[in-house]
Structure 1
């Protein structure tokens, strides 16, 4: 048995129940535990996340420098457009960023509590022309 096992990605937020629903639906997962100050989920691919209550949580301001980036999640997806529609339906919002260059298309979003994350096409695309 290893000394340290894989743990959780934990996001602080004012309303952990609501944020857990957003990620549970996005990751097609299930709730695995909850108490008054923490909700835990496991995504369909095994990713474990927890959402901890912090009444004073301040959302990061990324890409603006005022409150910078506190944490950043990346998810691979097969269909960026379908994933974006799901994110918006669940209460997330696109972040205005420049297009990523290179063979992978990437888009950035904020969850309902303001944490930033990116979706990256799991399939490389041809370089943009023009």
Structure 2
């Protein structure tokens, strides 16, 4: 089966990206390949990465309480943002009203259940 995109990253919002990356790095044995104050990326050298993004007002989920749901979003890599956008809209995604940057190499969408995900071209956030 041919998909619209290829899995790129699982991104977890948290108050302290470095601390959470250290935890998951120890848990899964992956290494930090990129970090700054607001973003840390772990990888095992494969195509999929695990990333941690600063969210200063983060409220942790109280699973399975629907008032405090789990929080994460997926980044998937595409070759052409416009073609991929048309394809994801056709299968039920909605383009999010907030787009952080028109030059950032990525766009934000909501899946049919309202979870955010990003279509990214090579170089965006790498």
TM-score of the superposed pair, with normalisation by structure 2: 0.48
Q: Which has the higher contact order (CA 8 A, sep 6+)?
A: 2
Whose Rg is larger?
A: 1
